[in-house]
Amino acid sequence: MSVEEKITFLEEVMEIDEGELHIDDQLDDIEEWDSLTKLALMAAIKKQNDKMITVDELKSFQTVKDICDYLE
Protein backbone atom coordinates (compact mmCIF):
# COMPACT_ATOMS: atom_id res chain seq x y z
CA MET A 1 0.00 0.00 0.00
CA SER A 2 1.16 3.54 -0.69
CA VAL A 3 1.17 6.08 2.14
CA GLU A 4 -1.99 7.66 0.69
CA GLU A 5 -3.72 4.27 0.65
CA LYS A 6 -2.68 3.62 4.24
CA ILE A 7 -4.08 6.97 5.34
CA THR A 8 -7.34 6.27 3.50
CA PHE A 9 -7.46 2.88 5.20
CA LEU A 10 -6.96 4.54 8.61
CA GLU A 11 -9.67 7.11 7.87
CA GLU A 12 -12.05 4.23 7.19
CA VAL A 13 -11.04 2.42 10.38
CA MET A 14 -11.46 5.59 12.44
CA GLU A 15 -14.67 6.50 10.59
CA ILE A 16 -13.47 10.01 9.87
CA ASP A 17 -13.93 12.04 6.70
CA GLU A 18 -11.58 11.66 3.78
CA GLY A 19 -8.72 14.15 3.89
CA GLU A 20 -9.06 14.74 7.65
CA LEU A 21 -6.09 12.60 8.62
CA HIS A 22 -2.49 13.68 8.05
CA ILE A 23 0.73 11.74 8.28
CA ASP A 24 2.17 13.87 11.11
CA ASP A 25 -0.98 13.96 13.24
CA GLN A 26 -0.46 12.98 16.87
CA LEU A 27 -2.80 10.11 17.72
CA ASP A 28 -3.60 11.54 21.17
CA ASP A 29 -5.00 14.63 19.45
CA ILE A 30 -7.45 12.57 17.38
CA GLU A 31 -10.72 12.06 19.22
CA GLU A 32 -11.49 8.92 17.23
CA TRP A 33 -8.25 7.26 18.39
CA ASP A 34 -9.88 5.28 21.17
CA SER A 35 -10.08 1.66 22.25
CA LEU A 36 -12.79 0.95 19.64
CA THR A 37 -10.53 2.24 16.88
CA LYS A 38 -7.69 0.12 18.24
CA LEU A 39 -10.00 -2.90 18.03
CA ALA A 40 -11.02 -2.01 14.47
CA LEU A 41 -7.37 -1.55 13.52
CA MET A 42 -6.45 -4.85 15.11
CA ALA A 43 -9.26 -6.66 13.27
CA ALA A 44 -8.41 -5.01 9.94
CA ILE A 45 -4.73 -5.91 10.21
CA LYS A 46 -5.65 -9.48 11.15
CA LYS A 47 -7.92 -9.69 8.09
CA GLN A 48 -5.37 -8.17 5.72
CA ASN A 49 -2.17 -9.78 6.93
CA ASP A 50 -3.33 -12.53 9.28
CA LYS A 51 -1.14 -10.84 11.88
CA MET A 52 -2.15 -10.08 15.48
CA ILE A 53 -1.05 -6.67 16.67
CA THR A 54 -0.03 -6.60 20.32
CA VAL A 55 -0.96 -4.05 22.96
CA ASP A 56 2.70 -3.06 23.27
CA GLU A 57 2.77 -2.32 19.55
CA LEU A 58 -0.45 -0.30 19.81
CA LYS A 59 0.98 1.65 22.74
CA SER A 60 4.14 2.43 20.77
CA PHE A 61 2.17 4.32 18.10
CA GLN A 62 2.43 8.06 18.66
CA THR A 63 1.60 9.44 15.23
CA VAL A 64 -0.30 8.42 12.10
CA LYS A 65 3.12 7.87 10.52
CA ASP A 66 3.97 5.22 13.14
CA ILE A 67 0.91 3.20 12.10
CA CYS A 68 1.66 3.70 8.42
CA ASP A 69 5.20 2.43 9.00
CA TYR A 70 3.76 -0.65 10.68
CA LEU A 71 1.32 -1.40 7.89
CA GLU A 72 2.74 -3.35 4.98
Partner 1 sequence: MKICEIKDKIRQFKKINLKIETNFYFGILNDGQEAEVFENEKALVFIVQEPNRIRAFFAFAEKNSLRELLLKIPSGTVMEYIHKEQENPLEHIFIAGGMEQYAVFLRRTFCYSENPYTIPETGRRKLLAEMYDPSCGEYATDRDVRELYELDRENFDVLCDGVFDLEQWKQVVSNQECLLYRENGKIIAFYVFRLQGKKLYCNRAMNLGPANYLYNLERRAFEEVWDKGIRIYYAWFNIKNRRALKRINPEAYQVIKSIGIIYNSIYIKK
Which residues lie near partner 1 (CB under 8 A)?
Answer: 15, 34-43, 54-56, 58-59
Residues 6 or more apart whose Cβ sits within 8 Å of residue 62: 26, 27, 28
Query: Shortest Cβ distance from residue 29 to partner 1 (Å)?
Result: 15
Query: Shortest Cβ distance from residue 13 to partner 1 (Å)?
Result: 9
Helices vs strands, H then E, count in the chain: 4, 0
Number of residues written out for the chain: 72
CB-wise, 4 or 15, nearer to partner 1? 15
DSSP class of 39 = H
CB-wise, 24 or 59, nearer to partner 1? 59
CB-wise, 25 or 40, nearer to partner 1? 40
